[in-house]
Each structure stands twice: as structure tokens, then as C-alpha cells.
Amino acid sequence: MRVILLGPPGAGKGTQAGLLAGSVSAAHVASGDLFRKHLGEGTELGKLAKQYMDHGELVPDDVTIKMVLERIGAPDAAEGYVLDGFPRTIEQAKALDAALAGQAQEIDLTPLIEVETEELVRRLTGRWICRACQTPYHEFSAPPATPGVCDACDRELYQRDDDKPEVVRARLETYERQTAPLVAYYERQGKLVRVDGEQAIERVTADLRAALR
């Protein structure tokens, strides 16, 4: 199974990709997590990505495409993957299609998780993430059992630098300008399904599972 979760920042892509990938033995491949890993390790790619992430802009296509194509070539992605945050431009989508076509493969489905802007801002500004396993929480709608501690692995939770209100606004504008055109791109391929992302997390998961079946 090869799936792309589409949707604006805060729609719940990371939350749902983690749940889906865990239940169907697919790899969860999140471009933002890959950049943050590089950032944490102090690599040149991490330093480059930070310049864009801090302003809510997209990291250039060439380095992003190379990083993600390498990741989906790893052994744990051989049986399939759930992509979260990639592709984000038409150029990235075309590069992915071309790479898959070269292996007689294609994307199976691209669910679009739809959420209104006001709710996106509420979610991002209240989000906490596990430093170790990246599980996202929300201070009101999805709190951990113990404040500041991950339910899954007992490690510390933190807030992302780019979840500050001014950067969140820039990320939402970037989404509309550069990523929203992917909706028409995958609609033309007959792969787009729309899912109401404003329901409870379990309801969204159930709708995604139904779409995948």
C-alpha cells in the first residue's frame, strides 16, 4: 500500500499516518520529521532546512525530493508507506510519480484531510510532540495521561518552533499557494478522496480505513 495523506498544516496528517502505518505494517514517512532529525543531528541539510522552516516556507524541491526518495527506498518501506507532508509541490508530485513509474509502481490513494483554518490555528498552537517517537498531543483535545510526558514511550514532550502564531499563519499561506494545487493534480488521477478532519481522531481514522479498503 502506497498512500499520501494530503491536508494543510494541523489537519492531522501526522496523527493519522502514525495510526494507519502501525495498523497495516507500512512505514510512516514524514518529510517534516526527516528535516527535524537532520536539524537535531546538526547536518548541513538540517541547517539549510531550518532557514525555510523558521519562516513557514518550503525547503527547495531538489533536496526534499532526494531525501524522501532515498527514505522510501529503505527496506522497511518495501511493503508500502504512508507519506505525510510529501509531496507539497507539483514538481515533487511529478518526481515521485516518475520514480515510481520507473519501478512499475504507483500511488494507490491520496486522502485529503479537510479542516477549517480557525481549527488549524487552534490545533497547531496547542500541540505538544514527543521528542523521541514524534507522537503528537494537544493540550485540550488529545492530552497525554501525564502532562509533558509521552504515553507511548515516557519521554519528554516539546512544542515546535514553527507552531508560533506568526509562523503558523505563514505556513497556512504557503499551503494555499504551493500545496493546494495538488488536490486537482490527484483528482485528475482519480486518486483523491475527501475526509472530514474535524471529527474526533478515531472517526477520522475509521473514515480513512474505509477509504483504503
Q: Which residues would be at the binding site for ligand AP5 (CB under 6 A)?
A: 7, 9-15, 31-32, 35, 52-53, 56-59, 64, 85-86, 88, 92, 123-124, 127, 136-138, 141-142, 162, 171, 197, 200-201, 204
Set 160, 164, 191, 209: catalytic member: 160
Catalytic residue among 2, 36, 88, 123: 88
Neighbours of 160 (CB within 10 A): 16
Q: How far is the CA of 129 from the CAs of 15, 72, 149, 151, 167, in angstroms?
A: 10, 23, 9, 11, 17
HSE-CB at 62 with a 13 A cutoff on CA atoms is: 1
122 catalytic? Reply is: no
Query: Residue 104 or residue 141: which is nearer to ligand AP5 going by CB?
Result: 141
Q: Is 188 in the active site?
A: no
Phi, psi of 154 (to 5 degrees): 65, 15
Of the candidates 13, 36, 71, 123, the residue annotated as catalytic is: 13
CB of residue 11 vs ligand AP5: minimum separation in angstroms? Answer: 4
List the one residue out of 48, 69, 70 whose CA is nearest residue 59.
Answer: 48
Calpha distance 81→25 (Å, rounded): 8
Instruction: Select 62 or 108, whichever has its Cβ closest to ligand AP5.
Output: 62
Distance spanning both ends of the chain, measured CA to CA: 11
**Within the chain, what is the greatest distance between any pair of CA atoms?**
48
Closest CB 167 distance from ligand AP5, rounded Å: 8
Q: Minimum distance between the CB of residue 4 and ligand AP5, rounded to whole angstroms?
A: 11
- 209 part of the active site: no
Q: Pick the closer one to ligand AP5 by CB: 114 or 187.
A: 114
Q: Is 127 a catalytic residue?
A: yes
Question: For this structure, is 66 an active site residue?
Answer: no
Active site residues: 13, 88, 127, 160, 171
